Chain A
Amino acid sequence: MKAIVIKNNAVRTKLPVKAVIGTAAVIMIFLWPLLKLFSEAFIGPEGFTLGYFTEIFGDAGFYEVLLNSLFINALSTVGAAIPGVLFAYIIAYTNIPLKKYFHTLLLMPVVIPSYIVTLAWMQMLSKNGLIYSLTGFELYSYAGIILMFSVCEYPIVYLLSLSHFRKIPRELEQAADISGCGKWKSFRTVLLPIMKGTLANAMLLVFLSCLDNFGIVAFIGIPANIQVLSTDIYKTVISGTDDSFQLSAAKAIILSVIAVLVMLVSKRVAEDAHAGNSEKEDMNPRICLGKARYAVAVFMGTFIFFVNIFPMITLVTSALTKAKGVAFSPETASFANFDKVLHNSKCMNGLTNSLMLALGTVLICTVIGVMLAYLSERRKNTVAKSIQMIVTFPYSIPGIILGLALILTYAKPVAGVTIYGTIWILLLSYVIRFTSVVLRSANTAFSQLDPAMEEAAEAGGSGNIAKWKKVILPLTAGPVISGMGMVAISSMMELTTSSLLWSGGSETVGVVIFNFTSAGMSNLASAYSSVILIMILAAFVVFQLLGFFITKGGKKYVNDNK
């Protein structure tokens, strides 16, 4: 025991130097670009000015953009909440068959990027398509944007509600039943009021995610001439006028203020969301539906098919038709689009770039994330805790703003090195955006890891390397790997910051699809997206297997201690 204490002291005395260097590096990398961006908005040709803000607020168009954003996002949160809560309730409480598969399929929009989903819906609802002739639904409209947001964001509400539903003790609902309430009444008077904190938090996160989104509003909003904050900032940046950077910086501040406010409110709401609930999730069904369970399963399957699967099928079939507007049939099927895509240097370049970027981002984010989580959770290191806050900050800032900030910071060579216009700036932006994802999962992992495990390893005489290799990593691998998977997919599919930071030769998957779609070559975009879909599917399988094999021991340990 004594030896361990001395060792800890030794680490402490060495820390200040490391801590200073570490903190400085983190501030430079994660915070400096944003600070630079925010200061830009206040610096005019003659020094400090509020002129850019007065210009923005004097422009009636900006109010329209602001209102559009708020209106679309508000309705989208409702649109995401309804299916999210409904399906969470069904999956959490009923005994429908095939539950595990429904759960996985409901999460499709988490792994398929919103711009591919949007592209698929664009194909499904194209003017000469069957669905359009049946429904007459105009996708290029407010309703269309709101629909796409709802389709892409409902999993946030679904996942948070699912976990909370399972944590509500079943007796609370039974007590309401006994008191004379039917299922609907007890849902309204007992479950929903208990859930409202979680629900509010989930809806605010949806709101935030909508603010951050670029793919949907760019694909549908721009052709429909509906501007929201992110597309407006994008347009201002690429307009290339003298003060375009300053104006967009000022707009970025307004957007950030909204985002940070929403974030703060959501954190506040989440804190008191869990009063009176059990810690453990109760996975057993509570409502036995009898024969009706098949009807519910069919309803659910139909929803999943039309919202998540059928659009993807249309995406693939439209990729298989030679020309835009030709209906798909076995006779018109051709691999011409795939052929073009696979022989297009930009497409292939995009793929390799995105793969390399994903790999690099995962590696760097994991090292930083695991180290920070370990230092703040285990060593109760206050410096590490404050660094955590800095690292998580950019995650709440919409990606378009980060892109803009990086342009402003790195447009000119920094310390003699130019990374703007190369692939390195993309890597940097991904690391800044996604480190907090690994960090959060690592925090979860370390908070679940009993300190005694580590102490036992030290007491057993193992050194640092053996301790990490044999004890810490195997026991924390589960959550960390799922965080890594999330980062891999997010960076592979990133579009928002990439749309500002890419340059010839450093296109990414998202950028290639964006450029095809903007240029009206939606069949090529579909073919390319189909290739990506297959890759996502493969990656999903690999990560499932990987997680399964690595966490076997770790999961057992966690369960034993609950």
Chain B
Amino acid sequence: MSTIISDLNMNFQDYQALKDVDLEIKKGEFVAILGPSGCGKTTLLRLLAGFLKPTSGKIEIDGMTVADKDSVVEPNKRNIGMVFQSYALWPHMTVIQQVLFPLQNSRFSKFKSADEQRKRAEEVLELVGMLQLKDRYPSELSGGQKQRVAIARGIVNEPALLLMDEPLSNLDAELKIEMRREISRLHKEIGGTILYVTHDQAEALGMADKIVVMSKGRIQQAGTPGEIFNSPANPFVAKFVGQSNLIKGRWEGNVFICGNGETAERKNIAEIFLEENLYPVKADNLSIVDAEASKFRGRIKEVEYQGFKNKIIMLMEDGNTVQVMANSMYDFPQEKEYGIKFA
């Protein structure tokens, strides 16, 4: 029941959108594809849905080869569901009709009689809390309600793979958090396999079992949220997901040296950082001290108030620009020189 993507390439004329992508999504897994816009994540999703034909490589869903170099299976013949960014609810159908539609049309539907289909549709609407609004048209629903209907439509057939294309990006901040919890709950309750595309790291970290970070058409790192966040495989992942500082200096064995000789230990740091003489460190893991207490010194360039904390941007003597999170209770006069300590 897993989805296997092997050696997938996608070219648009002379632009290569995907390069040698290999990925396995196990049954019941919630996988988030995370990356900035233009990284190829939407292309990957569209290839899985069958809206695009790959240049080379193979896609297998639930034991069925849906795309390889010889043939491509059309979207309607794949055992998938999809939740669109724009919801894509049909304006001329009521809520229940939207949910019944895949049951009536998909060859993978397990619910054959009209009675079974209606029962199943109502069951799913109940699950997303939309049963009482089942006779409404999309124009009569709020953004969050549309989202719930779109999800219900996506899962009603219990597809082998549910594709979600930035489903929360059109919602306001509060609703986003609510729907995030909702999707996690649904995943636990129904246990389907989900591929979730997003550019929002909080969504990926909060919901997924596995995160796949993409950039420039390549998979940069795949792993659990903890692995991605705490031990980034390369500078890109460190910056994009961990929002780490990449401090320039030099490595001597397992010791990193910067400024006028300030040192830090190697902890969970991939080899590539050593090769590039970079030290990845999160803003939270740095502290500002008096100039005399550190050999890594600089001046405060900017202070951005963020509520509990201040984000302080420092320009160091050796040319590094470093972000530090500091409790907003403390005040740092900007004209003074400060040092930085690694936690």
Contact = CB atoms under 8 A, between A and B. Distances in A.
Interface in A262-303: 275-277, 288
Interface in B150-168: 153
Contacts, number: 73
B208 interface: no
B88 A174 contact: yes
A194 interface: yes
A362 to B, nearest CB: 41
A109 B39 CA distance: 47
Contact of B80 (A169, A178, A275): A178
Given A179-B102, A180-B108, A172 B76 contact: no
B130 to A, nearest CB: 17
Contacts of B138: 276
B342 interface: no
A176 interface: yes
Contact of B91 (A171, A176, A276): A276
B82 A180 contact: no
For chain B, the bracket of interface size reads: 20 to 34
B268 interface: no
Contacts of A193: 90, 92
B76 A181 contact: yes
B67 to A, nearest CB: 14
A176 B101 contact: yes
B50 to A, nearest CB: 8
Q: Is the interface of B mostly helix, strand, loop or mixed?
A: loop
Interface in B46-96: 49-51, 53, 74-76, 80-82, 84-86, 88-92
A180 B51 contact: no
A194 B88 contact: no
B106 interface: yes
A194 B92 contact: yes
Contacts of B80: 178
Given A180-B76, A275-B139, A175 B90 contact: yes
A175 B105 contact: no
B62 to A, nearest CB: 15
A190 B90 contact: yes
Contacts of A275: 91-92, 139
A344 to B, nearest CB: 58
A170 B75 CA distance: 14
A495 B275 CA distance: 84
B109 interface: yes
B266 interface: no
A189 B92 CA distance: 10
For chain A, the bracket of interface size reads: 20 to 34
Contact of A177 (B74, B85, B91, B108): B74
Contacts of B153: 175, 179
Contact of A178 (B81, B92, B107, B139): B81
A174 B49 contact: yes
B106 A179 contact: yes
B107 A174 contact: no
A182 B50 CA distance: 13
Nearest to A182: B76
A380 interface: no
Contacts of B109: 180
Contact of B75 (A171, A177, A194, A276): A177
A178 B76 contact: yes
Q: Which of B53, B80, B102 has its CB near the most chain A CB atoms (within 10 A)?
A: B102
A379 interface: no
Contact of A179 (B51, B85, B91, B105): B105
Contacts of A190: 90
Nearest to A290: B53
A340 interface: no
A172 B74 CA distance: 16
Contacts of B101: 176, 179, 189
B123 to A, nearest CB: 18
A180 B49 contact: no
A171 B106 contact: no
A235 interface: no
Contacts of B90: 172, 175-176, 190, 193-194, 276
A228 B207 CA distance: 70
Contacts of A177: 50-51, 74-76
Given A169-B86, A180-B76, A194-B90, A174 B105 contact: no
Contacts of A12: none
B86 A178 contact: no
Given A180-B102, A180-B108, A180-B109, A175 B82 contact: yes
Interface in B90-140: 90-92, 101-102, 105-109, 138-139
A180 B74 CA distance: 9
A178 B49 contact: yes
B278 to A, nearest CB: 41
A26 to B, nearest CB: 39
Nearest to A192: B92
Contacts of A189: 101, 105
A182 B153 CA distance: 18
Interface string A147-188: 000000000000000000000010110111111111001000
A103 B123 CA distance: 48
B88 A182 contact: no
Nearest to B78: A178
Q: Which of A175, A182, A276 has its CB near the most chain B CB atoms (within 10 A)?
A: A175
B88 A169 contact: yes
Contact of A181 (B81, B88, B105, B139): B105
Interface of A: 169, 171-172, 174-182, 185, 189-190, 193-194, 275-277, 288
19 contacts: A172-B91, A174-B51, A175-B153, A177-B74, A177-B75, A178-B76, A178-B80, A178-B82, A178-B102, A179-B76, A180-B102, A180-B109, A181-B76, A193-B90, A193-B92, A194-B91, A276-B90, A276-B138, A276-B139
Nearest 10 pairs between A and B by C-beta?
A276-B91, A180-B106, A171-B88, A179-B102, A180-B105, A177-B75, A175-B88, A193-B92, A178-B82, A171-B84
